[in-house]
Each structure stands twice: as structure tokens, then as C-alpha cells.
């Protein structure tokens, strides 16, 4: 077996990184409902002071044919190749508290070696806690706060924040394996799965990014600038509410999701907020049709944002 250290290269100075930092992880891959992780990475790296300290080998970990990189065709020649990256950053939050951020593509290959690499880095930098975030589509309403399911061994977070605790098999992602191995080592680890309205799964939903940041704050105490995301979220929801308000059938469907959500949150015997007593999921066809125009909505540009601080 190849040495797991061959999967990454240290590219920055490690001597001035304090011990006991939190590691935050956001990988894009199998599912990223509402563009939560993609927005999270973009928001952190554009709005917070950061520098790269390690980079993973994309050629060893990525299936290029499954997730093809983008290259620009300029009339008669190729320019602007954008290779995928998976990097570890040293970042400072809004109060200049340092933390580590592993962000980029989810590995397609060599999950065990990747997991060992992450564990090696955790030991090398004496990381205090590891927190990961991903987002999955669920039949829940956009008119209610985004809820989370929490896994790992940090019981205080699970007890306080996890609203859905199923007994079920799920398709694993790479960070599930990392989390599983870290649990075996008794390293403090928490995985947040954001429950995103399924009819908004293919949009860039600003409140999904906000929920990611809030989950990380709950786990680590880090503070993030969120005013812009909150405003973008208000604008996004107002457009959806306007569309819902003009269609009685759509309004009824959203109302059904609200009733099931609220009944579950009030402690009814429903097994989850996602199904009725017969275990049936509500159809999303009409919702998707009515909101099709919003599937291409993207967050407003960052033209009005100030330059990130230098680290």
C-alpha cells in the first residue's frame, strides 16, 4: 500500500500554527443540496483571511471522467483550465480566531488512504476537534428553519441540535469514513447533515450556506460574518413566497409540508417529518414545476464585498 502521506503535500509553514485548533471540513461530491458546501467554501475563502498549508493529489483521488474539469475554448485555442483542488487552509474567523479548513472535491478513490492522511494531519497539527458539513434534500418546507441531523461522538451537539435520528442505511461519503475512524480513536468529531427542501436542492440556496456556518459555530465557537448571506436569503425566500402565493395548488402542497414538519417538531408519533402516517412522501412534481425558474437562481455576486483580510 502506498504511504498515505504521498496523497498530500505540505505547501505552507507549519511552525507558526498553534496546537489545539478546530478542523472544519466541507467536501463537494455525492450530494450538495442547496449548494451548501460549495457556497460555504466560497464564502469562507472570499471573506476570511486564509492561506494554503497542504494540497491533496487530485490525480490520485479524483475520477476526472465522472467530474470533468472546465476548460475555456477561445475561438481557436484552449485557455483557462480550472483543475479541481482539495486543500487544507489556515483561516482566521471574524474575531481572528485561527482554525483549519479542508475544502474541495470529495475523493472518488482510495478512501482508506485519504482517511489515514486526514488522521495523520490531525495528529501532526494536534487538532482539537473535527467538524464536517454536508447537505441532503428532504421533503421539508422552505418556510421553516433549516434543521440538521448530527452524527459523531459529541453528544452535547447531538442532544441539542439533531432533530432526526433515524435507524437506516445511507450511501456513505468520504467524510463518513473519516468520522467513523475518528470515533474509533475517540477524537471529538461531529458531522452535520443539513436537511434542505428537496424542491430547492438544485439551487444555490443562501440559507443553506448560512445554516452550514451556524452549525460550525455551534460546534467550534468560531464567529463568521453572515449579514450578506442573511440578506440574500431574505431576497431568495421573498421570490419563492411570491410564486407560492400566486398558485393555490402549490400553496397547498407547501402547507402540507409545514403541517408534517410542525407536527413532528411538537413530538407527535410520526417517525420523521418527511412522511405521513402511511409512510408516503409528498410529491414534488408540482413544486418543481412552479419553481423551475428559480432553479437557476444563484447568489448575487460579491462585487460589493470588501477585500479579504491578509493573513
| pLDDT 10s digits, 178-194 | 999 999 999 999 999 99
Distance (Å, whole) CA 205 – CA 137: 12
Average pLDDT over residues 80-84: 89
Decide which of 179 and 268 is more confident: 179
Q: Is 53 in contact with 42 (CB distance < 8 Å)?
A: no
Average pLDDT over residues 118-128: 96
Burial (0-12, 13-18, 19+ Cβ within 10 Å), 34? buried
Q: Which residues lie below 8 Å from residue 126, measured CB to CB, with a gap of 6+?
A: 19, 20
Q: What is the value of pTM for the model shown?
A: 0.83
Contacts of the segment 250-256: beta carbons below 8 A, 24+ positions apart: 250/286, 250/287, 250/290, 250/291, 253/282, 253/283, 253/286, 253/287, 254/141, 254/142, 254/143, 254/287, 256/282
E strands, the chain, are: 8-10, 22-28, 50-56, 70-74, 77-82, 86-92, 98-105, 129-138, 147-152, 189-197
Distance (Å, whole) CA 265 – CA 268: 7
Distance (Å, whole) CA 65 – CA 50: 31
pLDDT in tens, 218-259: 999 999 999 999 999 999 999 999 888 888 888 888 899 898
Average pLDDT over residues 210-220: 96
What was the pLDDT predicted at 166? 83
Coil, strand or helix at 232: helix
Enumerate the domain spans of the chain.
Answer: 8-224
> Average model confidence (pLDDT) for the chain?
86
280 is written with which cell numbers?
A: 408516503
Q: 65-74, 150-159, 271-280 — which one is most confidently predicted on average?
A: 150-159
What was the pLDDT predicted at 295? 43
As a CATH number, domain 8-224 is 3.40.50.10900
Decide which of 4 and 29 is more confident: 29
Amino acid at each position: 500500500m502506498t504511504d498515505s502521506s504521498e496523497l498530500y503535500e505540505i505547501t505552507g509553514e507549519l511552525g507558526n500554527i498553534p496546537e489545539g485548533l478546530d478542523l472544519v471540513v466541507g467536501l463537494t461530491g455525492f450530494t450538495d443540496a442547496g449548494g451548501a458546501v460549495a457556497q460555504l467554501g466560497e464564502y469562507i475563502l472570499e471573506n476570511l483571511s486564509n492561506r494554503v498549508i497542504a494540497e491533496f493529489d487530485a490525480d490520485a483521488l479524483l475520477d476526472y471522467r465522472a467530474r470533468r474539469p472546465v476548460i475555456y475554448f477561445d475561438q481557436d485555442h484552449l485557455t483557462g483550465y480550472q483543475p479541481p483542488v482539495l486543500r487544507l487552509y489556515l483561516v482566521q474567523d471574524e474575531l481572528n480566531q485561527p482554525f483549519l479548513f479542508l475544502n474541495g472535491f470529495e475523493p472518488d478513490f482510495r478512501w482508506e488512504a485519504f482517511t489515514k492522511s486526514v488522521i495523520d494531519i490531525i495528529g501532526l497539527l494536534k487538532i482539537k476537534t473535527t467538524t464536517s458539513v454536508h447537505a441532503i434534500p428532504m421533503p421539508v418546507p422552505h418556510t421553516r428553519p433549516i434543521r440538521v441531523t448530527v452524527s459523531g461522538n459529541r453528544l452535547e451537539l447531538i442532544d441539542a441540535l439533531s432533530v432526526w435520528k433515524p435507524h437506516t442505511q445511507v450511501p456513505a461519503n468520504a467524510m463518513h469514513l473519516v468520522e467513523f475512524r475518528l470515533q474509533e480513536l475517540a477524537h471529538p468529531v461531529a458531522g452535520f447533515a443539513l436537511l434542505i427542501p428537496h424542491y430547492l436542492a438544485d439551487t444555490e440556496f443562501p440559507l443553506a450556506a448560512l445554516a452550514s456556518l451556524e452549525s460550525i459555530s455551534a460546534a467550534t465557537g468560531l464567529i463568521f460574518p453572515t449579514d450578506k448571506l442573511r440578506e440574500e436569503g431574505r431576497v431568495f425566500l421573498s421570490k419563492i413566497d411570491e410564486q407560492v402565493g400566486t398558485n393555490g395548488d402549490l400553496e397547498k402542497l407547501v402547507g402540507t409540508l409545514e403541517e408534517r414538519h410542525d407536527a413532528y417538531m411538537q413530538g407527535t408519533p410520526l417517525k420523521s417529518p418527511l412522511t405521513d402516517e402511511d409512510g408516503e412522501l409528498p410529491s414534488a412534481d408540482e413544486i418543481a414545476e412552479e419553481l423551475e425558474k428559480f432553479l437557476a437562481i444563484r447568489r448575487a455576486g460579491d462585487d460589493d464585498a470588501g477585500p479579504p483580510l491578509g493573513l
